[in-house]
Amino acid sequence: MSPRTPRGASGAARRAGSGTRGANGAKPGLPRKEDPAKKRERGMSVLRTLRKEFPSAHTALRHENAFQLLVATILSAQCTDERVNMVTEDLFRKHPAPADLASVLREELEKEIRSTGFYRMKAKNVIACSSMLVERFGGKVPRNMEDLVNLPGVGRKTANVVLGQAFGITSGVVVDTHVHRLARLLGFTKEDTPEKIEADLMELFPEKDWIELGTLLILHGRKTCKARKPDCPACPVNHLCPSSAV
């Protein structure tokens, strides 16, 4: 007998990124209506299961301090963490502190970070961000969301990464492309913008779990629930996922 065709391969990926509706009028892959308490319980079961799968979950971006994590996260847009780590190894050796990157020549920085993609915009933002840190914050990375999102090139996602991973400060849930996709596939949200998805996740999960939740969903998205081909048969949370193909 041939194995059941996984809805996951293209179906789950499509459902995560599309706003189309299924035959029953509900968004495909999501239960039409789920009791809020049951949804919360299911969410916590997903979290507990992923915790076992990734017992020492943390960002894969190599850094020695908050500033380096900030720069690495800016560089990671549309780029793999592995590539960013390759680039930052030399970059941080040559320019370890905000004052160093604030005064680097833009053309020089563009060359150094070229392989991360979108290098012109990233170089501009890294220099402007480093300059602002030097001028307004005494070369230190601020420890609050409001100041962080005012830095050039820094949005809520980057700010959440820095606050959570560098300072252990909970301010929200990191919503990158993996979290965006998985939150929808797992039926935690029906929203389609990072801000609204983050708000739904903050509502569904206890604040103490917000930092870990983002990291675990990212790791799960990279390893198993990949954008192009979610591996539902191998997924440890397939029994908890409304989009599962098995």
Least Å distance between CB 6 and ligand SF4?
A: 8
The runs of H, that is alpha helices, within the chain are: 13-17, 36-53, 66-75, 81-94, 98-102, 106-113, 119-137, 145-148, 156-161, 167, 177-185, 194-204, 210-223
Exactly one of 5, 8, 43, 59 binds ligand SF4 (CB under 6 A); which one?
Answer: 8
Kindly state whether residue 231 participates in binding ligand SF4, applying the rule CB under 6 A: yes
| From 27, 122, 176, 209, active-site residue | 176
CA distances from 43 to 74, 204, 213, 234, 246 (A): 30, 7, 10, 19, 19
Kindly state whether residue 185 participates in binding ligand SF4, applying the rule CB under 6 A: yes
How far, in Å, CA of 137 to CA of 214, rounded?
Answer: 28
Nearer to ligand SF4, 62 or 190 (CB): 190
Least Å distance between CB 236 and ligand SF4?
A: 8
Nearer to ligand SF4, 57 or 241 (CB): 241
Q: How many CA atoms lie within 13 A of 222 on its CB side?
A: 15
Nearer to ligand SF4, 59 or 244 (CB): 244
Interacting residues with ligand SF4 (CB under 6 A) = 8, 12, 185-186, 224-225, 230-232, 235, 237-238, 241, 243-244
